[in-house]
Amino acid sequence: MPSNKSVSDAPIVQFTNCRILRSHRLQREDLWVREGKILNPEKLFFDEKGSADIQLDCKDSIIAPGFIDVQINGGFGVDFSLATDDFKSGIDLVSKKILSHGVTSFCPTLVTSPPSVYHQVLPQISIRNGGAHGAGILGAHLEGPFISKEKKGAHPEHCLRTFETGAFQDLLATYGSLDCVRIVTLAPEMKRSSEVIQELTKQGICVSLGHSVANLSQAEEAVQHGATFITHLFNAMLPFHHRDPGIVGLLTSDKIPPGRRVFYGMISDGIHTNPAALRIAHRAHPKGLVLVTDAIAGMGLAPGRHTLGQQVVEIDGLNTYIAGTKTLSGSVATMDACVRHFQEATGCSVETALEAASLHPAQLLGIEHQKGTLNYDSDADFLMLNDGLYVQATYIAGEEVWRQDALGM
């Protein structure tokens, strides 16, 4: 039989004394990692006759997949919707800082902006793996400008656009390029949106429904054309009505194509959605729930005035409003705080809360074979957490990239 080193010279790390989230439950077993991937210990023992080079005692921590945030507008003073000369250093700062909140991959999100902003910013966003430099970038989430005036929320009305005769060409002209784009949020009731949804889906881009006054049949039609996500459920859409539940009705619709799952984002910060609404959504469609922060530049900073794209926003405690109004504009919640609030508000299991921030966003983006799980051969992006779901350490590709102790906390 081959020796340990004939397969790879890379060291094998064994994480012991832990509870691993695997197959939807916490299991008391060890986690084995080599070359940035999660190893199958049986293959290691029986095929390679191998053993661990390094053993790490996790002191009874929970080990869960790294969190994936598919809607984050910025943080720590950085606004992804502002075209600046040092945009790259801004995105680097956010990707580094969110490691302490358990985020190992994210989709930098741009709110409705003038075409010039997309043309300047999008070429500066590059898809990349995470590491000690920060969380991985999975591609941009473009929220707008093809959304409803009535449900614009914090999006500037003068920048909103509609689809004209050459609908997809309008979108391309607005954004400039789709090279690094992963998600587009649009309002499905807009004329010609169906052809845009089909074309985006064909290009492997996830279409999300949001900032919309669509009725249920318009939302169902969008899903039949390829849409798979709902942007921050309940926020910036028609409220649920028993005769026409609108986009919210997709959670229990019987018109979803076979084999397709509709996912929906929820800002579980205790501000955007009443805990009862969170519970209703979760109980109606638990496997589609994706936790998002919708965080803005003010996340991680003191209360006061900050920006969200073209608008000035004011932070008052955990509330963020367009300055001078009571219109909510993003959040200052961190992903780990959203996970804790979700678990507390719904009474769901620890496993369910953790999967809403890891497995479900990975499934939404079709990357669940690499990320969002601790299955064998998947990327070794994972967190150590205590029983209160506070992050103790963050690992990307099996390397420790953040640890609480390192900050003397």
Residue-wise pLDDT for 211-244, tens only, equals: 999 999 999 999 999 999 999 999 999 999 999 9
Residue 47 has what pLDDT? 87
Helix (H, G, I), strand (E, B) or coil at 225: coil
* Confidence band, pLDDT 50/70/90 cuts, at residue 141: very high
Average confidence (pLDDT) over 335-344: 98
Non-local CB neighbours of 215 within 8 Å, separated by 6+ positions: 189, 238, 244, 246
Query: Domain map of the chain by residue range?
Result: 13-64+373-403, 66-365
Residue 3 has what pLDDT? 43
Average confidence (pLDDT) over 282-307: 96
DSSP string, 68-125: EEEEE-EETTEETTS--TTHHHHHHHHHHHGGGGTEEEEEEEEES--HHHHHHHGGG-
- Structural domain 13-64+373-403, CATH architecture: Roll (2.30)
For the purposes of burial, counting CB atoms within 10 Å of the CB of 332, is it exposed (0-12), middle (13-18) or buried (19 or more)?
A: buried
Q: Which of 269, 294, 336, 381 is catalytic?
A: 294
Average confidence (pLDDT) over 269-296: 97
Q: How many CB atoms lie within 10 A of CB 147?
A: 27
338 forms beta bridges with none
d(CA 403, CA 156): 39
Helices H / strands E in the chain, number of each: 11, 22
Residue 364 has what pLDDT? 98
Residue 7 has what pLDDT? 62
Residue 6 has what pLDDT? 47
Residue 1 has what pLDDT? 37
Q: Do domains 13-64+373-403 and 66-365 have the same CATH topology?
A: no
Average confidence (pLDDT) over 291-304: 95
Q: What is the helix (H) or strand (E) element at residue 289, kind and residue range? A: strand 289-291
Q: What is the pTM of this model?
A: 0.96
Task: Indicate if 53 belongs to the active site.
Answer: no
d(CA 302, CA 43): 51
CATH of domain 66-365: 3.20.20.140
pLDDT at 383 over 60: yes
Who has greater pLDDT, 44 or 264?
264
pLDDT at 325 over 50: yes
Pairing status of strand 140-143 against strand 103-111 = parallel
15 forms beta bridges with 31, 56
The dihedrals phi and psi of 228, each to the nearest 5 degrees, come to: -130, 0
d(CA 50, CA 47): 8
* Confidence band, pLDDT 50/70/90 cuts, at residue 4: very low
Per the CB < 8 A criterion, the answer to whether 215 and 246 are in contact is yes
Residues in the chain, how many? 409
Tokens standing for residue 353: 């809360």
Residue 406 has what pLDDT? 60
